Structure 1
Amino acid sequence: KRVPAADLPTPLPNEYGWISGYAVAGNTLWFGTSAGRMYKSTDFGKTWAVHVVDPAGSTVFEIAFNDDGLRGVTHLRNAAGTFLWATADGGATWTNLGQPANWKSSRITAVPGTDALVSTAVNAPAFRGSAISYDNGLTWTELERATSKAACRFLDAQTGYAGAFFVTGPPFQGGIFKSEIAFEAPAAGSRRSVTAATPQPVRTPRASLLSVYSSPASSVLHVVLDDALLDAKSRVDLVSIDGRVVSSTRAVGAKTIPLDVSRLLPGTYIVRVTANSQTISKTVTVAR
């Protein structure tokens, strides 16, 4: 059923939406336009409001919102390039984050059930691959840059896929990639209802209970647990970027746990600590 024009904000001259520039969280919908604006509905499309993202009118492309419907990001493109914008109030106001280090500028998506955003890119080798953010796009950790990845979507933290340019070859290239990312658990209280009336600030993930040094590491990586975890029977796993557990250590009451990484291949790994029915992760690098 077509939404009556009376329930839609009046478009600007020559303003149009982009077919992939939308996001959904619960009953809340967003889509972007070529005039730097974003339409929003909180009743699954029956009625709409519109907010300005970029007063200069850059085109709104990809949009991603976390489960709370408040924290979100979007890609805006103009003649100068692609830029990342963020909101903490459901899209009413936006901040230009520019082009953060390690961020991938082709596509972006939120991961349901987590505080994570994943960005992907198909650009030149220095920019292609994937990256992850847990602070609403402020900072990014590169996951890999081995393969170009375009569209990326997640059903939940365990189920996600990314598509790549497909070339039949020879040699064969591209295809579909299944995520094996070990995501951090969401911060306590971060998953608020999309119907919340009062916008809340972005919260810091529980990764503050865990620290590591030194990264990049060549021989030994030290994992330091917060005092809140010292009485727990903690398990410390080191996970490769393809999801394999390359080492596993149990620690009872130990504040600092050394991990031998001298025989590991250089690259990105995830330190995953399980304690007190919670899982906390940090991304680290092994170098030679």
Structure 2
Amino acid sequence: MVLRLLTLFLFITASTQAQFWTENASGFPLTTTGLSKIHIVDDNVAWATGYDGTNPNVNVQRFTTTSDAGATWTAGTIDVGNTTLGISNISGVNASTAYVAVHPTAAGQQGGVWQTTDTGATWTRQTGAAFNSTSSFANVIHFFNATDGVAIGDPAGGFWEIYVTTNGGTSYTRMPSANIPAPATNEVGYLAQYTHLNDNIWFTTSTGRVYHSADKGVNWSVFQSPLSDFGGTNLSGDISFSTPSKGLIQDNSGNLFITQDAGTTWNVVNVSGTGFPYGGAIAYVPGSNRVVSTGGNTAFAGTSYSTDNGTTWTNVSTDQHIDVAFLDKDTGYSGGFSTLSTQDGVYVYSDNVLSTFDDLATQGFSIYPNPTTDFIKLLSINAIEKVEIYDLNVRLLMSPENTDQINISHLATGAYLLKVSSNGTTSTQQLLKN
């Protein structure tokens, strides 16, 4: 079914940009600290790591976390006993417990997995995820829930070093080579380059391949992507899946590729609209056709979104956004840069544009933005024949003939009923005027 956009703004106002993201303080005490590698636990809890936004080569061992849906963030230090060890990524399971993958930055060092159970006050190494080979390099730790987790590292001893735990990290089991397709020559993974959905997890490699497990990291398959490398100097990419079968790859030039068969085949997405993908990070709203793209490169910075699997894009802003993650249609975050510990550094999704499209399935049309202060636009499955706006006493106030842009700025603040006649049927939704 093709959706017809019956009202299209050819510009995005400043108020709409601000509505999509609300910027809050990340809590990082040092200026220009970037926030990235976001892991959303639930509607209220999320964790992320920090890095030096001025010189990314400077090693930073910092995290920040929220337990109130992004309104406030508390930052701290990841003390793993050696300030030169690198932090690959962070994965939380609740407001107090999280895990970090740690990698060596020099010969002779040993990384692995560390856990905190006191919101980052102390960190303890989990010895079961050994990572003790001279070629060991931990790229990813991910917990699906409070007990089940997987740690993913580069090949060691001829096969990928992947550990699985079912008891919160008390013990880990390395997956045998029979469970994992063999690495290509000189193939390695990348820091925090993975995505997850329910029991599924995917990680990307230096040969442009994507490894996938549908059972929390126990058994793996692999497919070749359209990219030759996911983390090269000139070519890199990010990946996100909406369902186990449907996923998108975005390269650093903003090119998109989609699969509908779990990665067996990929097709180029021919993008259009008033925006475009930004080539940095990409994130589906799970189980939907909606996707958000961000860019942190100063020459290619911004946020945009698509509601049709990346075909049509709407631009939101041109601010630098380092990372992006969405739990659902209501909960999402993006990384920025701190200037003060009490000011900016993290973007919290605060719009309804990613959820208004649910009304299409049940009522045939949706209103955006809603609430609004002035103009609205409508999305409808079928051509709109008539629009009427009533007050709550069912008195007709407006019957606009031009539905391309409906101006309700003259209406008093409050709730109204918007009735749409389309394809011989009539549907009504509530309209809120601020």
TM-score bracket, shorter-length normalisation: 0.5 to 0.7
Structure 1, unaligned stretches of length 5 or more? 189-204, 213-218, 236-249, 264-271, 280-288
Which protein, 1 or 2, shows the higher relative CO under an 8 Å CA cutoff with sep ≥ 6?
A: 2
Q: Distance in 2 between matches of 1:277 and 1:39?
A: 46
Instruction: Pick from 283, 287, 310 the counterpart of residue 109 of structure 1.
Output: 283
Aligned to 2:351: 181
CA contact (8 A) 1:229 1:276 kept: no
C-alpha displacement at 1:262, in angstroms?
8.0
Q: TM-score, normalised by structure 1?
A: 0.62
Instruction: Pick from 12, 21, 43 the counterpart of residue 215 of structure 2.
Output: 43
1:1-288 to 2 correspondences below 5 Å: 1-54=173-226, 56-57=228-229, 59=231, 61-66=237-242, 68-76=243-251, 81=253, 83-97=255-269, 102-112=276-286, 114-124=288-298, 127-145=300-318, 147-168=319-340, 174-182=344-352, 183-185=354-356, 209-210=364-365, 223=378, 256=401, 259-260=406-407
CA contact (8 A) 2:230 2:238 kept: no
Q: TM-score, normalised by structure 2?
A: 0.43
Note closer, same or farther for the CA distance 1:150–1:208 as it changes in structure 2 (3 Å cut).
Answer: farther
**SS of equivalent to 1:128:** strand
Cα RMSD, aligned residues only: 4.5
The list of structure 1 runs, each at least 4 consecutive aligned residues, that deviate by more than 3 angstroms after superposition, is: 55-61, 96-101, 184-188, 205-212, 219-235, 250-258, 272-279
**SS of equivalent to 1:109:** strand
Give the aligned residue type for 1:128.
A
Q: Distance in 2 between matches of 1:56 and 1:262?
A: 52
Give the aligned residue type for 2:347.
F
Give the aligned residue type for 1:111.
V
Give the aligned residue type for 2:406.
L
C-alpha displacement at 1:161, in angstroms?
1.2
Q: Distance in 2 between matches of 1:48 and 1:86?
A: 21
Note closer, same or farther for the CA distance 1:112–1:20 as it changes in structure 2 (3 Å cut).
Answer: same
Q: Deviations over 1:51-80 (max 9, x none)?
A: 1112745656421111x3222112335xxx
CA contact (8 A) 1:115 1:186 kept: no
C-alpha displacement at 1:259, in angstroms?
2.0
Give the aligned residue type for 2:326.
F
CA contact (8 A) 1:115 1:187 kept: no
Q: Distance in 2 between matches of 1:224 and 1:97?
A: 22
Note closer, same or farther for the CA distance 1:177–1:6 as it changes in structure 2 (3 Å cut).
Answer: same
Note closer, same or farther for the CA distance 1:55–1:226 as it changes in structure 2 (3 Å cut).
Answer: closer
C-alpha displacement at 1:251, in angstroms?
7.4
CA contact (8 A) 2:230 2:237 kept: no
Note closer, same or farther for the CA distance 1:185–1:211 as it changes in structure 2 (3 Å cut).
Answer: closer
Q: Distance in 1 between matches of 2:254 and 2:399?
A: 46
Structure 2, unaligned stretches of length 5 or more? 1-172, 368-373, 411-417, 421-425
Q: Between the two proteins, what is the percent identity of the paired residues? A: 27
Give the aligned residue type for 1:124.
T
Q: Deviations over 1:121-143 (max 9, x none)?
A: 12336x32211112222221111
Give the aligned residue type for 1:102.
F
C-alpha displacement at 1:273, in angstroms?
9.1
| Bigger mean CA offset, 173-182 vs 10-19 | 173-182
Q: Distance in 2 between matches of 1:142 and 1:156?
A: 20
Note closer, same or farther for the CA distance 1:24–1:233 as it changes in structure 2 (3 Å cut).
Answer: farther
Q: Distance in 1 between matches of 2:241 and 2:212?
A: 12
CA contact (8 A) 1:114 1:186 kept: no
C-alpha displacement at 1:154, in angstroms?
1.7
C-alpha displacement at 1:89, in angstroms?
1.4
**SS of equivalent to 1:122:** strand
**SS of equivalent to 1:6:** helix
| Bigger mean CA offset, 40-49 vs 219-228 | 219-228
The number of equivalent residue pairs is 230
Q: Distance in 2 between matches of 1:8 and 1:43?
A: 13
**SS of equivalent to 2:277:** coil
Q: Distance in 2 between matches of 1:117 and 1:17?
A: 24
Note closer, same or farther for the CA distance 1:138–1:220 as it changes in structure 2 (3 Å cut).
Answer: closer
